[in-house]
Amino acid sequence: MSKPTSPVDYGAFPDAKGHFGEFGGRFVSETLISALDELQEMYQRLKNDPEFQAAFDYDLAHYVGRPSPLYLAERLTAEAGGARIWLKREDLNHTGAHKVNNTVGQALLAKHSGKSRVIAETGAGQHGVATATVAARLGLKCAVYMGAEDVKRQSPNVYRMKLLGAEVIPVESGSKTLKDAMNEAMRDWVTNVDDTFYIIGTVAGPHPYPQLVRDFNSVIGREARRQSLEQFGQLPDALVACVGGGSNAIGLFHPFLSDESVKMYGVEAGGDGLETGRHAAPLNDGVPGVLHGNRTYLMEDEDGQIIETHSVSAGLDYPGVGPEHAWLRDIGRVDYVTANDDEALAAFRTLTRTEGIIPALESSHAVAFGLKLAATMSPEQNIVVNLSGRGDKDIFTVAAIDGIEV
Partner 1 sequence: MTEEQNRIDRRFAKLRGEGRKALVTYIVAGDGGLENTVDLMHQLVASGSDLIELGVPFSDPMAEGPVIQKGHERALEHKASLRKCLALVAEFRTKDADTPVILMGYANPIVKMGFEAFADNMREAGVDGALTVDLPAEEAGPLNDLLKARNLRNIFLLTPTTSDQRIDEITRLASGFVYYVSLKGVTGAGHLDLDSVRENLARIRRHTDLPLCVGFGIKDGASAKAVSADGDGAVVGSVLVSAVGESADGAAAKDRIGALVSEMRTALDN
Which residues are catalytic, by number? 99, 121, 388
- Cα torsion 356, 359, 363, 364 to 10°: value is 70
Per CB under 8 A, contacts with partner 1 among 33-72 are: 33-35
> Which of residues 9, 230, 275, 303 is near partner 1 by CB under 8 A?
303
Interatomic CA distance for residues 265 and 243, integer angstroms: 9
Q: Pick between residue 81 and residue 304 the one whose CB is nearest to partner 1.
A: 304
Q: How far is CA 111 from CA 42, 141, 196, 233, 322, in A?
A: 11, 12, 11, 40, 26
- The DSSP symbol for 306 reads B
Residue 12: partners with Cβ closer than 8 Å, 6 or more residues away: none
| Residue 149 binds partner 1, judged by CB under 8 A | no
Q: Pick between residue 27 and residue 63 the one whose CB is nearest to partner 1.
A: 27
Alpha-carbon torsion (358, 392, 323, 218), positive or negative: negative
User: Smallest distance, Å, CB 293 to partner 1?
Assistant: 7
Interatomic CA distance for residues 299 and 288, integer angstroms: 9
- The DSSP symbol for 358 reads -
| Residue 160 binds partner 1, judged by CB under 8 A | no
| Residue 305 binds partner 1, judged by CB under 8 A | yes
Q: How far is CA 22 from CA 19, 218, 223, 257, 335, in A?
A: 6, 23, 30, 19, 18
Q: For residue 275, with 0-12 CB atoms within 10 Å meaning exposed, 13-18 middle and 19 or more buried, which class applies?
A: exposed
Q: Pick between residue 253 and residue 297 the one whose CB is nearest to partner 1.
A: 297
Contact, 243 vs 283, CB < 8 A?
yes
Q: How far is CA 211 from CA 44, 78, 153, 200, in A?
A: 10, 38, 31, 11
Interatomic CA distance for residues 166 and 116, integer angstroms: 13
> Which of residues 10, 20, 23, 28 is near partner 1 by CB under 8 A?
28
Q: Pick between residue 35 and residue 328 the one whose CB is nearest to partner 1.
A: 35
| Residue 30 binds partner 1, judged by CB under 8 A | yes
User: Smallest distance, Å, CB 222 to partner 1?
Assistant: 32
> Which of residues 21, 271, 289, 370 is near partner 1 by CB under 8 A?
289
| Residue 147 binds partner 1, judged by CB under 8 A | no
> Which of residues 96, 105, 293, 389 is near partner 1 by CB under 8 A?
293
Q: Pick between residue 66 and residue 179 the one whose CB is nearest to partner 1.
A: 179
Per CB under 8 A, contacts with partner 1 among 164-193 are: 173-174, 179-180, 183, 186-187, 190-193
Q: Pick between residue 101 and residue 294 the one whose CB is nearest to partner 1.
A: 294
User: Smallest distance, Å, CB 15 to partner 1?
Assistant: 12
User: Smallest distance, Å, CB 306 to partner 1?
Assistant: 4
| Residue 251 binds partner 1, judged by CB under 8 A | no
Nearest to 386 by CA among 225, 164, 179, 158: 225
Q: For residue 261, with 0-12 CB atoms within 10 Å meaning exposed, 13-18 middle and 19 or more buried, which class applies?
A: exposed
Q: Pick between residue 237 and residue 300 the one whose CB is nearest to partner 1.
A: 300
> Which of residues 215, 300, 317, 324 is near partner 1 by CB under 8 A?
300
Residue 273: partners with Cβ closer than 8 Å, 6 or more residues away: 279, 340
**Residues 6, 7, 9, CA angle at the centre, nearest 5°?**
130
Number of residues that bind partner 1 (CB under 8 A): 40
| Residue 260 binds partner 1, judged by CB under 8 A | no
| Residue 290 binds partner 1, judged by CB under 8 A | yes
| Residue 306 binds partner 1, judged by CB under 8 A | yes
| Residue 359 binds partner 1, judged by CB under 8 A | no
User: Smallest distance, Å, CB 396 to partner 1?
Assistant: 29
Task: Tell me which residues touch partner 1 (CB under 8 A).
Answer: 17, 25-35, 173-174, 179-180, 183, 186-187, 190-194, 287-293, 295, 298, 300, 302-307
